[in-house]
Amino acid sequence: MSQAPINLRELLARRKKGYSLEAPFYNSQEVFETDMEQIFGKHWIYVGVEPDVPEAGDYMTIQIGKQPILIIRDDDNQIRAFHNVCRHRGSRVCTHDKGSTGNLVCPYHQWTYNLEGKLLFAEHMGDDFDPSKHRLAPVHLKNVAGLLFICLAENPPEDFQHLVDTMTPYIAPHNIANTKIATQIDIIEEGNWKLTMENNRECYHCTGNHPELTISLYAYSYGFAPSEDTDEGVRQYEEMVKERHAKWESCGLPSAEVDCLDSTISGFRTMRMPLDKEGQSQTMNTQVACKKLLADFADPAIGGLSFWTQPNSWHHFMADHIVTFSVIPLGPDKTLVRTKWLVNKDAVEGVDYDIENLTAVWNATNSQDRFLVEESQKGSMSPEYLPGPYSPYTETLVEKFSNWYVNRLTELLGD
Ligand code: FES
Ligand SMILES: [Fe+2]
C-alpha cells in the first residue's frame, strides 16, 4: 500500500476528545505497524484459555504481527510461552495451530528442546557448542483464573497485577480449568482492529442490528447512561441490579462494577449483569444451553459476568457456558476475531448441549458485527470521512477505548 507519510505525533496531539479517530488510525500501514509495535508489543494481550492446552505436552501457536508465539503446558503442568523461533537458523519450531508433543523438535535440522525451552539435542555442532546458550526465548505469560495473557515486552506493565487480583475472584467460580472448548470459530473482518474494539464497546447499535443478542439483554445494560427522558427506566434497572448483586454476592459471586478502562495501563472493566426473561444465558430462549453447569450453582439464573480488556478482548461468563473473544490485527484493514465457547469438560455433545443452540446468539451477532465493522472501514477510506461525535449516553466506553489508545501511544512515542 503506498501512502503519503503521516505525522502520527501530530495526529495524536490534535485528536478531538469525544470524537472518533481520524482516518489514518483506521487505514494507514504506518499506524498499523506502530500499533503492532507499541500496543500489541508492549501490553498484555489475551490469546487463549487453559483448555487450549489441557494436558502436559499440549501446545498452541499464535501469530502476533511479525512474531510467532508458542504456548505449551510443561510436564509440571505449568503453562509457558516462548517465541516460536528456533535458536539454530530461525525456523518456526511448531508449525501447526495446535498439537501435543514430548519434546519440541524443529522440523529443519531437528534441534530438540524440552517443554521448558531447554535445548536437549543438536547434532553435528562440535565439542565447543554449549546448548545452554541456545534456549528458546521465553515470553511473559499470566494465567488469570484460566484466561491466558502474554506480553511481548521485556518489562511488561506491572499494573496487570491489579487486574489479576481484582478479576480472579470474579472468574474463578466459573471454573475454566474444568471446562473444554466446545467449539472455536475464527472470522476475518475486513476492517481495522480498532473498529472491531470500538464496535464491541457500545450497544447503541444493538437494537438496530442484533435481534438474537437483544433477546437476553436489558436495554439499559451495556454502557447505557441515563438521559432525561429515560430516567425512570434506568432507575428501575439500577434497582434490579442492586437487588441481584446482593443476592449473587451472598452466594460467593462477586458482581459489582469495576471500571479502569482508561485509568490504568492494563485497562479493564467488569460487571455481573442480569439477563432478561429466564435470566440464565445468552441464548435464543435465555435458558442454559448446557445441562451440565460450570459449577454447582443452586440457581442458573446468575446473569452474565462480562469482562472487557484493553486492547483486545471481551468475555461473558454464565452458569452453563463461557464465550470468550480475542482480537488479533492482521493488517490495517484485516482483523482476526477468535471466539471460543467453553462448557463443563464432562458435558457430552448431543446429550448435554447442542453446538448450534450453544453458538446461535454469538454466531449471528459476530456476523452482524463483521458487517458493521466492514462498512465503517469502507466509509473511513473516503476523503469525506470526518471524526464524528460519540453519544454521551451510549458510547462512553468507546470513548474510554479511544482515550486509552491515544494516551498509550502518546506516552510510548514521547516527543
Ligand atoms: S533451524 Fe531449527 S534446527 Fe535448524
Ligand atoms: Fe455488536
Per residue of the chain (415 residues), give pLDDT as tens: 456 788 999 999 999 999 999 999 999 999 999 999 999 999 999 999 999 999 999 999 999 999 999 999 999 999 999 999 999 999 999 999 999 999 999 999 999 999 999 999 999 999 999 999 999 999 999 999 999 999 999 999 999 999 999 999 999 999 999 999 999 999 999 999 999 999 999 999 998 999 999 999 988 877 666 565 667 888 888 899 999 999 999 999 999 999 999 999 999 999 999 999 999 999 999 999 999 999 999 999 999 999 999 999 999 999 999 999 999 999 999 999 999 999 999 999 999 999 999 999 999 999 999 999 999 999 999 999 999 999 988 899 999 999 999 999 999 999 7
Domain 169-413 fold is: Naphthalene 1,2-dioxygenase Alpha Subunit; Chain A, domain 1 (3.90.380)
Residue in this structure with the C-alpha cell 487480583, named with its chain if needed: 165
Cβ of residue 119 lying under 6 Å from some atom of ligand 1: no
- Angle between helix 193-200 and 396-413 (nearest 10): 140
For residue 177, give every residue at least 6 positions away whose Cβ sits within 8 Å of its Cβ, in sequence order, or none.
Answer: 50, 51, 146
Nearest CA to ligand 1 atom 4: 109
Instruction: Count the residues in the chain.
Output: 415
Q: The domain at 45-144 falls in which architecture?
A: 3-layer Sandwich (2.102)
Q: How many Å lie between the centroid of ligand 1 and the Cα of residue 65?
A: 22
pLDDT at 234: 81
Residue 17 Cα to ligand 1 midpoint, Å, equals 50
Q: What is the dihedral of CA 60, 55, 305, 158, to 10 degrees?
A: -60
Check if the beta carbon of residue 100 is closer than 8 Å to that of residue 57: yes
Nearest ligand, CA 196: 2
Tell me if 82 CB under 6 Å of ligand 1.
no
pLDDT given for residue 235 in this prediction: 85
- The 8-class DSSP code of residue 37 comes to I
Distance, CA 117 to ligand 1 centroid (Å)?
A: 14
CA of 369 to the centre of ligand 2 (A): 5
* 223 Cα: distance to centroid of ligand 2 (angstroms): 12
d(CA 189, CA 370): 6
Q: What is the pLDDT of residue 229?
A: 60
Q: What is the pLDDT of residue 261?
A: 98
Please list, in sequence order, all residues whose beta carbon lies within 8 angstroms of the beta carbon of residue 101, skipping any fewer than 6 positions away: 57, 59, 94
- Confirm if 278 and 289 have CB atoms less than 8 A apart: no
Ligand 2 center from residue 244 Cα (angstroms): 25
Pocket lining: 9 vs ligand 1, CB cutoff 6 Å: no
Ligand 1 touching residue 118 (CB < 6 A)? no
> Where are the chain's structural domains?
45-144, 169-413
For ligand 1, say whether the CB of 109 is within 6 Å of any of its atoms. Answer: yes
Listed in sequence order, the residues at least 6 apart from 47 whose beta carbon sits closer than 8 Å to its beta carbon are: 62, 64, 69, 71, 148, 149, 150, 326
Q: Give, for ligand 1, the residue of 89, 93, 123 to mutate: max count of ligand atoms closer than 8 Å to Cβ.
A: 89
Q: Whose CA is nearest to atom 1 of ligand 1?
A: 89
Q: What is the pLDDT of residue 1?
A: 47
Q: Give nearest CA residue, ligand 1 atom 3.
A: 109
Residue 113: which of 143, 74, 61 has the closest Cα?
Answer: 74
Residues 77 and 186: their CA atoms lie apart, in Å, by 27
Q: Are 115 and 75 in contact (CB under 8 A)?
A: yes
Q: C-alpha cell of 374?
A: 466492514
Which of 92, 106, 121, 129 to probe ligand 1 with, by most ligand atoms within 8 A of CB? 106
What single letter denotes the amino acid at residue 25?
F
Element (H, E) at 313: strand 313-317
Do 61 and 94 contact (CB within 8 A), yes or no? Answer: yes
- Asked whether 86 lines ligand 1 (CB < 6 A), one says yes
- CB of residue 91 inside a 6 A radius of ligand 1: yes
Q: Which three cell numbers stand for residue 15?
A: 485528536
Closest ligand 1 atom, CA of 89?
A: 1
State the sign of the Cα–Cα–Cα–Cα dihedral 80, 83, 88, 90: positive
CB 148 within 8 A of CB 46: yes
Q: With a 6 A CB cut-off, is 106 part of the ligand 1 pocket?
A: yes
Amino acid at 66: K
**113 Cβ below 6 A of ligand 1:** no
Three-class secondary structure of residue 68 per DSSP: strand
Please state the pTM of the whole predicted model: 0.97
Between the CA of 207 and the centroid of ligand 2 the distance, in Å, is 9
Q: What are the distances in angstroms from CA 60 to CA 69, 183, 233?
A: 8, 15, 46
Q: How far is the CA of 368 from the centre of ligand 2 (A)?
A: 7
